[in-house]
Amino acid sequence: MSEQLYHVSSSPHIRSQVTTASIMRDVTFALLPSCLFSVYWFGLRALVVLAISVISCQAAELLYFRLAGKKRVAYECSAIVTGLLLGMNLPSTIPLWIPVVGGFFAIIVVKELFGGLGNNFMNPALAARCFLLISFAGPMTSFSVKTASSNIWLGAASVDGLSSATPLAVIKNAGNSTEALPSLFDMFFGFTGGVIGETSILFLLLGALYLVIRKVISLKIPLTYILSFSVFILINNLVKTGTPDFIGIARQLCGGGLVLGAFFMATDYVTCPITPMGKIVFGICLGIVTAVFRLFGNNAEGVSYAIIFCNMLVPLIEKLTIPAAFGLSKKGGNANGK
């Protein structure tokens, strides 16, 4: 009995059943509703793009491990999540070799060359999307829309040459465009043009709810991001027109990749702050930068660039928001100032 009472094991003394692999599986499950809707809306070609993205990321990881002579200790499923997120950030009409280039860039250049999972300084999927957007601007910004003549299996991709501006582009060019503003109903449920994974806010929120219930993500970053973005847009509307235009703000929230980015990419464990106050500061920075890009940039979107830009600010944010140890002040003295 005495031996059991005095037995002390090595740390950590409290162990969790949560692993990197289990977290990645939860994220994959959370993304599935949006992926399934995209296959319905954009057709089977969306499924092909998603599959190629996932396979390319897996192949790139295996190739790097083989060439570098590294041994995989345990498979953590992160390449699957990177591939899914990359595919969801591509149009369904993209040439099929481009997801391959993006997958290899995301895994080898952004992730493995910086030391692998846990060492990359920005989100690999978003870094790959920005790289592809700069390198292949035409195919990356060509969006097809589903019509009555669309093939049920191929969706919007079956309509040759029929393309349309995304809801955000219509909103940005509202003063110079004859196109009607998109309805909130269509934008919320996903009946619009855009990249594969950003259109249906409903299914993205269902996936986000699953992650919150499973305690994979907290709401600090997504809610701070969305709130600060909305406040910035509100202030801009008041300055320009004198009216708040809440419908316009709702369209901005439902359009583009803001919801996808806020819940699934800004919350990436590796590239977001770990301090409680740092998460709030990070979310505020994301909201402001995204709003600035959308309102004053040439492109109607801005989420991808905002997230990777703020990813690079994370070390500074964490340095400024490290909480003081119990009984000590932030300057290094004790709580009494000595």
Spatial separation of the C-alpha atoms in residues 259 and 240, rounded to whole Å: 26
Tokens representing 198 are 């950003």
Q: What percent of the chain has pLDDT over 70?
A: 82
- Mapped onto helix, strand or coil, the DSSP state of residue 106 is helix
Q: What pLDDT band is residue 161 in, cutting at 50, 70 and 90? A: very low
pTM, two decimal places = 0.86
For residue 337, tell me if it sits in a domain: no
Spatial separation of the C-alpha atoms in residues 283 and 159, rounded to whole Å: 39
For residue 7, tell me if it sits in a domain: no
Q: Are 83 and 52 in contact, with CB atoms under 8 Å apart?
A: no
Q: What pLDDT band is residue 160 in, cutting at 50, 70 and 90? A: very low
- Averaged pLDDT for residues 56-81: 85
**How far is the first Cα of the chain from the last one, in angstroms, to the nearest whole number?**
46
Spatial separation of the C-alpha atoms in residues 286 and 299, rounded to whole Å: 17
pLDDT of residue 117: 82
Spatial separation of the C-alpha atoms in residues 107 and 120, rounded to whole Å: 10
DSSP 144: B
Q: How many domains does the chain have?
A: 1
Could you tell me the residue range of the domain that residue 143 belongs to? Answer: 20-320
pLDDT of residue 193: 84
319-338 pLDDT tens trace? 998 877 765 655 655 555 55
Where do the H-state alpha helices sit in the chain?
2-5, 20-42, 44-68, 78-88, 97-104, 124-135, 137-140, 167-172, 184-189, 201-213, 220-241, 246-254, 258-260, 276-296, 303-311, 314-320
For residue 328, tell me if it sits in a domain: no
Backbone angles phi, psi at 299, to 5 degrees: -90, 145
pLDDT of residue 17: 75
For residue 62, tell me if it sits in a domain: yes
Whether the bond between 91 and the residue before it is cis, its omega within 30 degrees of 0, is: no
Spatial separation of the C-alpha atoms in residues 258 and 235, rounded to whole Å: 19
For residue 287, tell me if it sits in a domain: yes
Higher pLDDT: 76 or 93? It is 93
Q: Are 266 and 221 in contact, with CB atoms under 8 Å apart?
A: yes
Spatial separation of the C-alpha atoms in residues 42 and 142, rounded to whole Å: 13
Residue 291 CA from chain centroid, whole number: 16
Q: Are 251 and 258 in contact, with CB atoms under 8 Å apart?
A: no
> Each residue of 163-182: b (16+ CB within 10 Å) or e?
ebbbbbbbbbeeeeeeeeeb
Higher pLDDT: 145 or 231? It is 231
Question: Please, what is the average pLDDT of the chain?
Answer: 84
- Averaged pLDDT for residues 249-263: 92
165-224 pLDDT tens trace? 677 877 777 655 546 777 899 889 988 888 999 889 999 999 999 999 999 999 999 999
89-139 pLDDT tens trace? 999 989 999 999 999 999 999 999 888 888 888 999 999 999 999 999 888
Residue 4 CA from chain centroid, whole number: 48
For residue 327, tell me if it sits in a domain: no
Tokens representing 11 are 């740390």
- Averaged pLDDT for residues 243-269: 91
Q: Are 128 and 110 in contact, with CB atoms under 8 Å apart?
A: yes
Match 């969305």 to its residue by tokens: 226
- Averaged pLDDT for residues 71-87: 84
DSSP 120: -
Q: What pLDDT band is residue 149 in, cutting at 50, 70 and 90? A: very low
For residue 237, tell me if it sits in a domain: yes
Spatial separation of the C-alpha atoms in residues 267 and 284, rounded to whole Å: 13
Q: Tell me: pLDDT of 301 over 90.
A: no
Q: Tell me: pLDDT of 65 over 60.
A: yes
Ramachandran sector of residue 275 (left: φ over 0; alpha: ψ -120 to 50; beta: rest): beta
pLDDT of residue 172: 75
Spatial separation of the C-alpha atoms in residues 295 and 279, rounded to whole Å: 24
Residues near 25 by beta carbon (within 8 Å), at least 6 away in sequence: 77
For residue 330, tell me if it sits in a domain: no
